[in-house]
Structure 1
Amino acid sequence: MDLRVSTRRMNGWTVIQAEGELDLLTAPRLRRRLTGALRDGPAPVLADLRGVTFCDASGLRALVAAHHAARRFSMRLPFVVAPNSRLLRVLRLTELDGMLELHSDVPAAMAGADPIGAATARAFNSTAN
């Protein structure tokens, strides 16, 4: 499967939406789109990853690289992930949920409200043991 990446404007934000598999072949495309939107500004950028069905280490590297690019530009880069998704599970298992700003829906991400992150991961890990 491929990765579809689209860009739209919403409430003054640039929303980059990804759907499909985020892997060695597709991760560079998402990374370029995210870092390009951050560089081009001035609108804040949000990554909607609710449609991502698979993510390997290359995909994780792309998300971390985009996160670091946002910090270089002194910007936030919220990521929207589907609750109970494979992607969220991978982010929790790799402890990237403690680094990346994660939200379960676009309005919450824009407002910076209700993050799903390290606290949620600790609860998940305690029930998994």
Structure 2
Amino acid sequence: MTDFRLTTQHTEDDLALAHVTGELDIATAPHLRTQALALIEQGHRHLILDLQAVTFCDSSGFNALVGIFRCAKAADGTLVLAAVPDRLQRLLHLTGLDTLMPAHSTAAHALTAHTRSQDTAPA
């Protein structure tokens, strides 16, 4: 397996911030999906994936992101991306998925946006 790591920082009860490192390919995409879905099952239905340290993403990695999005949505949650590499950002835009999985320039910006959306959500 190529160098891949997912480290998680829980920031709120239903929110998890996960930092993804390495390549997202046919060998690593299942690990990303499994670990992210485990976070959702643990009650962290809102996920922020920081992709700053992702060095490569093929169609398997892209499909893993789509699967994670679907599972988060099924749990009444969200998937937000941060620091998306240019090639992946273009692919998200071309497929229209950038409207479903919003991207922020940094994980800090994504956290701030999540906090603001929670503060303005109806009770």
Which TM-score applies when normalising by structure 2?
0.77
Structure 1 unaligned segments of length 5 or more: list them. 114-129
Name the residue aligned to 1:127. none
Write the deviation string for residues 33-75 of structure 1: whole angstroms up to 9, x where unpaired.
1111011114732111111111111001000000000110001
Kept in 2: contact 1:23–1:55 (CA 8 A): yes
Q: Give matches, 1:40-119, under 5 Å.
A: 40-42=42-44, 44-82=46-84, 85-112=86-113
Name the residue aligned to 1:29. 31
Aligned partner of residue 26 in structure 2, secondary structure: coil
Residue identity in the other structure for 2:107: V
* Greater relative CO (CA pairs within 8 A, separation 6+): 2
Shift in Å, 1:11: 5.5
- The runs of at least 4 aligned residues of structure 1 exceeding 4 Å deviation read none
Aligned partner of residue 79 in structure 2, secondary structure: coil
Structure 2 unaligned segments of length 5 or more: list them. 115-123
Q: Judging by fraction of residues, say which structure has more strand.
A: 2
Kept in 2: contact 1:8–1:15 (CA 8 A): yes
Query: Against the structure 1 CA distance between its residues 37 and 25, is the aligned structure 2 distance closer, same or farther, given a 3 Å change threshold?
Result: same
Identity of aligned residues (%): 34
Kept in 2: contact 1:81–1:87 (CA 8 A): no
Kept in 2: contact 1:18–1:49 (CA 8 A): yes
Shift in Å, 1:10: 3.2
Which TM-score applies when normalising by structure 1?
0.74
Shift in Å, 1:25: 0.4
Kindly report the root-mean-square deviation, in angstroms, between the aligned alpha carbons of the 2 structures.
2.1
Shift in Å, 1:79: 1.0
Aligned partner of residue 78 in structure 2, secondary structure: coil
Shift in Å, 1:108: 2.3
Corresponding pairs, count: 112
